[in-house]
Amino acid sequence: MLILISAATLCATPSPADDPVFAAPVRVAVAGGRVATDAPGYAAPALHDVTGDGTKDLVVGQFDGGKIAVYPGKGDGTFGEREWLRAGGEIATVPGVW
């Protein structure tokens, strides 16, 4: 699965008429060459500094099991290998999702 994140996801700059101005989509590079999702494969990507290091990480919600994948940002526009979001040492899940 190739993820293209629109610059609209990253930021929107108001124009003088207060209409958002969006840049072209940006291809996201991750370690291993692709963003993986578990079957059935529905994903919800977003950027957020999960690790608290000042660099945005790629966060991908998984439909299967309600898990959340985190691809740590490297600070150069690329991302490391997938890690599962953890809470209390266990893989965190969203209740009520498959």
How confident is the model over 25-79, as pLDDT tens digits? Answer: 777 778 777 777 777 766 778 899 998 999 999 998 877 778 888 999 999 888 9
Contact 34, 50 (CB under 8 A): no
Single-letter amino acid code for the residue at 12: A
Q: Which positions ≥6 away from 50 have C-beta within 8 Å?
A: 57, 59, 70, 72, 85
- φ and ψ at residue 84, rounded to 5 degrees: -85, 140
pLDDT at 58: 92
Contact 98, 63 (CB under 8 A): yes
